[in-house]
Amino acid sequence: MRITRKAVLASVATVSVLALAACSGSEGDTSTDDDNAGISTDTALNIAWNQPMSSFNGDSITGNATANNIITYMANSRFNDYNSDLELVIDESWGTYEVVSEDPLSIKYTYADTAKWSDGVAGSPADLLLEWAAQSGKFNNVEPELDAEGNVVNQEAVDAGIYFDAANPAVALITETPEIEDDSITLVYSKPYADWATALDNNLPAHIVAQRALGIEDPQEATDALVKAIQDEDPAALSKIAKVWSDDWNFASLPDDPQLLVTSGPYTITEFKEEQYLTLTANPDYEGDKKAVFDKVTIRYNGDPMGQVQALQNGEVDLISPQSTADVLTALEAIDTLEVETNVEGTYEHVDMQQANGGPFDPATYGGDAEKAKKVRQAFLKTIPRERIVTDLVSPLNPDAEVRNSYTQVPGSPMYDGIAEMNGQQEAYGEVDIDGAKALLAEVGVPAVQVRMLFDPNNTRRVNQFEIIKGSAAEAGFDVVPYTVQTDWGTDLSNATSFYDAALFGWQSTSTAVTEPDANFRTGATNNYYGYSNPEVDALFDELQTETDAAEQERILGDVEKHLVDDAFGVTIFQHPGITAYNPEKIGNVQKLGIAPTIFYGFWEWTAGDAASE
């Protein structure tokens, strides 16, 4: 067994697009059949992953999770992707884009002749127009209202109105309806935007959304009707389109309708057994540059890290990247036939708190007294033993591990030290302060508080962290208990907010865009599940959107983080240590990326080993 260590984040300037956690031809044994060029026929690969897919619409609020986006990464094409150096590379076999004007900022996207959905329909500007309509928020005129059980109580109003389950501040800067001309679409921003290249990309097939929403059978007629509905701002049609876009691609097992399985990339979904596995099969009609190496790739779901190790040893899976623990590393080191690599991942652990759910951290609980609620939050944060968590659970895997003190920056990145110094998190919560926590609770007259904490109960390290936090917080009068599971922890994070008061989980970075923390901390943004709202933070993100000077970007993000600390939003804990292990007889050229899609990165460059044949 060869064990190597890689610091995969060392060159990242900033990594901050976040999803819920958990460029060349193939060198594999490929068929010479022209109809299957680049596909290793009769080869199969099994990969273990910790969380099942729940939505094929990763650009929705509900579907924004790494477990979903690793599937769409392999199944759909995009205008660009990151390479191994975290540089954006255009996929010209899907299309190209160019800046056609700096003032106003105007980007023209042009679809390639090889851009095609798996049902044979060409990729078109309508696909990007639909994503603009969905993510800009321009047409939304109603919001779901939830009861204490997480159920929508105004469903009739939502059905009658227009609600796209998305919120993208960057796309909201494109205020005018994009213009379509032949195979091109031009997006015009209302003001300069630093990260326009990652703001919008291919997602769902517009023709199928239109067919399902508008009841039109012919794909071209349906597409034309969708384009007209958006251009005319037709409320009746947009209401139907929004509902289909938001709901129809949310599935946790193989849907009966094959329309929902249409993809634009090298793979299609052919099997999906709920909570067990999902199989991707190479699309023989794919004409792009990222040809599939393996005929079949099956993702087998197992949330137990040691269970993944056992499955790898038994030959049930061929590639794993389980949550790293000392026991996992020791077990892998004992298996002679594996390739094993340790690294630092693009995921960071943190605790956030609900501020609008009627719980102990919500001002409404104290008659609207925001200062009182903030002091209760501060008291709780003072009890979280961040240093002990790192020492006990992370340092055995990464001797250089340290407490992460930035909400937006990876330790070691250029802006990290400056922003961590500016935000004051280390000063406020660097050491456990039980006496300080007790004093704050006494000051506001709340001597005992129950905190329902959301975390993955199947994740060993999270369970260990919970127990450490619970024991420490109890010394100050907090009774920390596991939240009541409604669906699963990932879905409940956004959809069952009344059932938990604090959340312990990881954000998986998916991009290096400097503006992307916007989605976590802006009022009402995609990843802001907690009711947090600070107009000054919103204004700072407005400023950041147009700022291209690195020093000014650092100043702005430092100010944002200072507000987060002052408002007792939550605390960051550590950057995840990582382990990747695989069977070299089955797969080669595994290139784990420091950001999502991690081990799935560069699947078109994998090599199929001699043992990969089915």
* Cβ partners under 8 Å of residue 215, min gap 6: none
Return d(Cα 417, Cα 409) in angstroms, integer: 9
Is 515 strand, coil or helix?
Answer: coil
Predicted confidence band at 21 (pLDDT cuts at 50, 70, 90)? low
Give the single-character DSSP code of 322. Answer: P
**Number of residues that make up the chain:** 614
Return d(Cα 614, Cα 44) in angstroms, integer: 6
Other C-beta atoms closer than 10 Å to the C-beta of 121 total: 19
Given a cut of 80, whether residue 30 has pLDDT beyond it is no
Q: Report the pLDDT value the prediction gives residue 22, as an integer from 0 to 100.
A: 52
Give the tens place of pLDDT for each residue, 214-249. 999 999 999 999 999 999 999 999 999 999 999 999
Predicted confidence band at 169 (pLDDT cuts at 50, 70, 90)? confident
Given a cut of 60, whether residue 32 has pLDDT beyond it is no
Structural contact between residues 325 and 379, judged by C-beta atoms closer than 8 angstroms? no
Predicted confidence band at 12 (pLDDT cuts at 50, 70, 90)? very low
Predicted confidence band at 39 (pLDDT cuts at 50, 70, 90)? very low
Residue percentage of the chain with pLDDT more than 70? 93
* Cβ partners under 8 Å of residue 114, min gap 6: 93, 94, 287, 288
Average pLDDT over residues 145-157: 82
Rg (CA), the chain: 24
Return d(Cα 9, Cα 413) in angstroms, integer: 8
Average pLDDT over residues 470-494: 94
Average pLDDT over residues 295-300: 97
CATH of domain 2-17+26-56+255-345+578-612: 3.40.190.10
Predicted confidence band at 9 (pLDDT cuts at 50, 70, 90)? very low
Given a cut of 80, whether residue 282 has pLDDT beyond it is yes
Q: Report the pLDDT value the prediction gives residue 25, as an integer from 0 to 100.
A: 30
Stretch(es) of the chain classified as CATH 3.90.76.10 = 78-202+205-247
Least Cα distance to 22 among 393, 323, 471 occurs for 323
Is 380 strand, coil or helix?
Answer: helix
Point out the least confidently predicted range of 141-145, 270-274, 280-284, 317-321: 141-145
Is 500 strand, coil or helix?
Answer: coil
Instruction: Classify strands 478-482 and 294-301 as parallel, antiparallel or unpaired.
Output: unpaired
Give the tens place of pLDDT for each residue, 193-213. 989 999 999 999 999 999 999
Give the tens place of pLDDT for each residue, 179-190. 999 999 999 999
Given a cut of 90, whether residue 122 has pLDDT beyond it is yes
Least Cα distance to 556 among 528, 521, 524, 515 occurs for 515
Return d(Cα 301, Cα 276) in angstroms, integer: 5
Q: Report the pLDDT value the prediction gives residue 516, as an integer from 0 to 100.
A: 82
Cβ burial, residue 24 (10 Å; 0-12/13-18/19+): exposed
Specify the higher pLDDT residue, 111 or 8: 111
Least Cα distance to 475 among 438, 425, 526 occurs for 438
Is 72 strand, coil or helix?
Answer: helix
| Topology classification of domain 346-576 | Dipeptide-binding Protein; domain 3 (3.10.105)
Q: Report the pLDDT value the prediction gives residue 18, as an integer from 0 to 100.
A: 67
Q: Report the pLDDT value the prediction gives residue 600, as an integer from 0 to 100.
A: 97
Angle at Cα 218 formed by Cα 212 and Cα 219, nearest 5°?
Answer: 70
Residue percentage of the chain with pLDDT more than 90? 78
Return d(Cα 526, Cα 515) in angstroms, integer: 14
Helices (H), 320-475: 326-333, 370-382, 386-389, 416-423, 425-429, 434-444, 460-474
Stretch(es) of the chain classified as CATH 3.40.190.10 = 2-17+26-56+255-345+578-612
Q: Report the pLDDT value the prediction gives residue 595, as an integer from 0 to 100.
A: 83
Is 247 strand, coil or helix?
Answer: helix
CATH entry, 78-202+205-247, from 2.60.120.10, 3.90.76.10, 3.40.50.460, 3.90.1170.50: 3.90.76.10
Given a cut of 90, whether residue 42 has pLDDT beyond it is no
Predicted confidence band at 252 (pLDDT cuts at 50, 70, 90)? very high
Amino acid at the residue 437: A
Average pLDDT over residues 446-465: 93
Least Cα distance to 428 among 581, 241, 584, 566 occurs for 566
Average pLDDT over residues 284-307: 96
Kind and range of the H or E element at 542? helix 535-545
Predicted confidence band at 140 (pLDDT cuts at 50, 70, 90)? very high
Give the tens place of pLDDT for each residue, 321-333. 998 888 999 999 9
Handedness of CA 142, 155, 128, 200 (dihedral sign): positive
What average pLDDT does the chain have? 91
Average pLDDT over residues 530-539: 97
Instruction: Classify strands 478-482 and 449-454 as parallel, antiparallel or unpaired.
Output: parallel
Structural contact between residues 603 and 27, judged by C-beta atoms closer than 8 angstroms? no
Specify the higher pLDDT residue, 379 or 344: 379
Q: Report the pLDDT value the prediction gives residue 4, as an integer from 0 to 100.
A: 44
Given a cut of 90, whether residue 511 has pLDDT beyond it is no
